[in-house]
Chain A
Amino acid sequence: DQQVKQNSPSLSVQEGRISILNCDYTNSMFDYFLWYKKYPAEGPTFLISISSIKDKNEDGRFTVFLNKSAKHLSLHIVPSQPGDSAVYFCAARGDGNQGGKLIFGQGTELSVKP
């Protein structure tokens, strides 16, 4: 059973516009969420995170929103740049989760066109 889902395998946006990547989860025990970015032939790199006690976290062009009642989070990139083209994974960590294990979504491939 997929506890973390990214239902859009791909997203294409124009440079300068907003990119919105979505992620849904099923386990209400998750209390920390992260977004990772992955370029081809490289490992994922940490982008931004949010604790379940918050509903928004911002870092430069990147903002993550968390809606706990809907079990939904989203990553907003404004403005989008061609260098943002990559696969984005959301991940969740549970309360009392020993070892800091992460559950990942399937990923969304973002393409930002000049």
Chain B
Amino acid sequence: NAGVTQTPKFRILKIGQSMTLQCTQDMNHNYMYWYRQDPGMGLKLIYYSVGAGITDKGEVPNGYNVSRSTTEDFPLRLELAAPSQTSVYFCASSSARGRGETQYFGPGTRLLVL
């Protein structure tokens, strides 16, 4: 199994441009998450979804949008890129079996906004 895949691996954006970060999982997990990691900081939750058609804000949602039309896919949209969005973005998924269920992470997308 591929697990959690993310594309692209790296992208440079100009201020004001938009883009979509793609995330797909093949584990039939109901829960999916988007995190960002800034240098020297932990991962901060941007948005999450508990199932297709259901999304909710995390700790740092401003400047981002998400959708969840299928179980497998959870794209993250940046509408007007800003330098503050320069970061590494990780997508993760987990099953809905219980509180102890671990999250599986993708390899990350490194985004640079200039």
Partner of A106, one of B42, B99, B102, B108: B42
Mark out the residues of chain A between 29 and 45 whose CB falls within 8 Å of any chain B CB in the assembled complex: 31-32, 34, 36, 41-45
Q: A41-B108, A43-B107, A99-B56 are in contact. Are A32 and B45 (CB under 8 A)?
A: no
Q: Are B99 and A46 in contact (CB under 8 A)?
A: no
Chain B residues within 8 Å of A106, by CB? 40-42
What is the CA–CA distance of A78 and B15 in the complex, to the nearest angstrom?
47
What is the CA–CA distance of A100 and B106 in the complex, to the nearest angstrom?
17
What is the CA–CA distance of A4 and B43 in the complex, to the nearest angstrom?
11
Query: Contact flags (1/0) for A41-53 with B, using CB distance below 8 Å?
Result: 1111110010100
Q: A100-B31, A104-B44 are in contact. Are A42 and B100 (CB under 8 A)?
A: no
Instruction: For A44, give the chain B residue with the smallest CB separation.
Output: B105
Shortest Cβ gap from B85 to chain A (Å):
19
Interface centre among A45, A100, A101, A104 (most CB of B within 10 A): A100
The tally of CB-CB contacts under 8 A between chains A and B is: 64
What is the CA–CA distance of A31 and B99 in the complex, to the nearest angstrom?
9
Instruction: For B102, give the chain A residue with the smallest CB separation.
Output: A46
> Does B81 reach chain A (CB closer than 8 Å)?
no
Mark out the residues of chain A between 94 and 110 whose CB falls within 8 Å of any chain B CB in the assembled complex: 97-102, 104-107
> Does A9 reach chain B (CB closer than 8 Å)?
yes
Majority DSSP secondary structure for residues of B touching A: strand
Partner of B103, one of A31, A102, A105: A102
Majority DSSP secondary structure for residues of A touching B: mixed
Q: Are A100 and B101 in contact (CB under 8 A)?
A: yes
Chain A residues within 8 Å of B64, by CB? none
User: Residues on B close to A: CB < 8 A?
Assistant: 4, 31, 33, 35, 40-45, 48-50, 56, 58, 90, 92, 94, 96, 99-108
User: Residues on A close to B: CB < 8 A?
Assistant: 4, 6, 9, 31-32, 34, 36, 41-46, 49, 51, 89, 93, 97-102, 104-107
